[in-house]
Amino acid sequence: MKIPLPQAAATEARNPASRHIDSLSTLQLVEVMNQEDAGVANAVAAEAPRIAQAIDQVAARIRQGGRLIYQGAGTSGRLGVLDASECPPTFTVPPGLVVGVIAGGRVALTSAIEGAEDRWEEGASDLEALSLTPMDSVMGIATSGRTPYVLGGMQYARSRGCLTLGLACNHGSALASAVDLMITTVVGPEVVTGSTRLKAGTATKLVLNTLTTGVMIRLGKTYGNLMVDLTATNEKLRDRAVRIVAELTSLDSSDAAALLQHCGGEVKTAVVAHLRQISPAEARLRLAACGGHLRPAIE
């Protein structure tokens, strides 16, 4: 199915600020790009209420066993896969909880797959392979708001009773009428006309950062701004885990490391066990009774 491009698509318009960018000095070129990038945060801020709604609705569904699934093509798909892949080490969630699906499959992460974004039916079949349930939340990411692959996926996700979310950079897009909740970050014309890996890509990354971080905070994955549910898979993260335990328990680093080891490397378990003077097993039960949230477990 071919979707006509809206005549006023902002992401395809020419940017007057960069019309003669090839004749500028390198410093001037950098300054033009930086000035254009400065407006991206405001475009995201304008969608704060919709992003907050998305966080609450996705978190509620994950608590009932659902997943968050991103679907996109090209840069949009790559950013979705990137965000999904960073959730397990950051928040200690299973790899299948946040999923990234990209048109053309995994090879499209490093190579352009010509025509993949135009395949409506593959958008549906790629999601069908995930055995969607009504508790899943599926976000279609398409800066143009008209990518057939994404629209096909959203139609299928809706048919399965999923919460459908959209993320685009043009108002009045086809995607807006294909989803339950739409986030539209209007960043305007790109420095290089139509190159949506630039401002549109930056806006997409900001929204996805906020969405998954907000969801994980709602699920109890942080204590204040401390990453208390991290998976210590390397030396840097092991050091961070020890520092967090030391800060929250007032232990020195060697005692904090010993406590962490005694608690199976689980930061929250270590903190609760020490502050409540209970065993690691009892600490885990206490955390479970508090829905995994550290604050009520220690207070």
pLDDT of residue 116: 87
Average pLDDT estimate for 211-221: 97
Q: How many CA atoms lie within 13 A of 248 on its CB side?
A: 30
From 189, 218, 247, give the residue that closes a domain: 218
Please state, in angstroms and rounded to a whole number, the distance separating the CA atoms of residues 297 and 299.
6
Using 50, 70 and 90 to split pLDDT, how confident is the model at 267?
very high
One domain, residues 289 and 196: no
Domain assignment present for residue 225? The answer is no
Is the confidence at residue 4, as pLDDT, over 60?
no
Domain assignment present for residue 3? The answer is no
Across all residues in the chain, what is the average pLDDT? 93
SS3 101: strand
One domain, residues 241 and 179: no
One domain, residues 159 and 258: no
From 218, 250, 283, give the residue that closes a domain: 218
Whether residue 167 contacts residue 183, with contact meaning beta carbons closer than 8 Å, is answered with yes
Average pLDDT estimate for 177-193: 94
Domain assignment present for residue 227? The answer is no
Please state, in angstroms and rounded to a whole number, the distance separating the CA atoms of residues 150 and 168.
11
Is the confidence at residue 241, as pLDDT, over 90?
yes
Using 50, 70 and 90 to split pLDDT, how confident is the model at 6?
very low
Identify any residues that bridge with 181 across adjacent strands, giving them in sequence order: 165
Question: Which tokens sit at 72?
Answer: 């996109």
Residues spanned by the domain of 276 = 235-298
Domain assignment present for residue 110? The answer is yes
Average pLDDT estimate for 278-286: 97
One domain, residues 138 and 258: no
One domain, residues 164 and 268: no
Domain assignment present for residue 226? The answer is no
Please state, in angstroms and rounded to a whole number, the distance separating the CA atoms of residues 207 and 213.
10
- Note the Cα 186 to chain centre separation in Å: 18
What is the helix (H) or strand (E) element at residue 93, kind and residue range? none
Q: Tell me, what CATH number does 280's domain have? A: 1.10.8.1080
Cα distances (angstroms) measured from residue 186 to each of 24, 42, 46, 145: 26, 9, 9, 11
Please state, in angstroms and rounded to a whole number, the distance separating the CA atoms of residues 162 and 138.
7
**What are 17-36's pLDDT values in tens digits?**
788 888 999 999 999 999 99
Question: Which tokens sit at 8?
Answer: 């006023």
Domain assignment present for residue 249? The answer is yes
From 191, 218, 245, give the residue that closes a domain: 218
Amino acid making up residue 26: T
Using 50, 70 and 90 to split pLDDT, how confident is the model at 216?
very high
Domain assignment present for residue 229? The answer is no
Question: Which tokens sit at 289?
Answer: 């009774």
One domain, residues 193 and 239: no
Question: Which tokens sit at 203?
Answer: 């806006």
pLDDT of residue 154: 98
> According to DSSP H, which parts of the chain are helical?
26-37, 40-45, 48-63, 74-91, 120-128, 148-159, 199-218, 235-249, 253-262, 267-276, 280-289, 294-298
Q: Tell me, what CATH number does 42's domain have? A: 3.40.50.10490
Catalytic residue numbers?
86, 117
pLDDT of residue 8: 57
One domain, residues 37 and 93: yes
Is the confidence at residue 2, as pLDDT, over 80?
no
Domain assignment present for residue 228? The answer is no
Please state, in angstroms and rounded to a whole number, the distance separating the CA atoms of residues 101 and 115.
16
More confidently predicted of 113 and 91: 91
**What are 81-101's pLDDT values in tens digits?**
999 999 998 898 999 999 999
One domain, residues 198 and 266: no
One domain, residues 268 and 209: no
In the chain, the number of structural domains is: 2
One domain, residues 38 and 97: yes
pTM over the 0.75 mark: yes
One domain, residues 28 and 131: yes
Is the confidence at residue 235, as pLDDT, over 50?
yes
**Rg of the Cα atoms in the chain:** 22
Amino acid making up residue 53: Q
pLDDT of residue 118: 86
One domain, residues 194 and 258: no
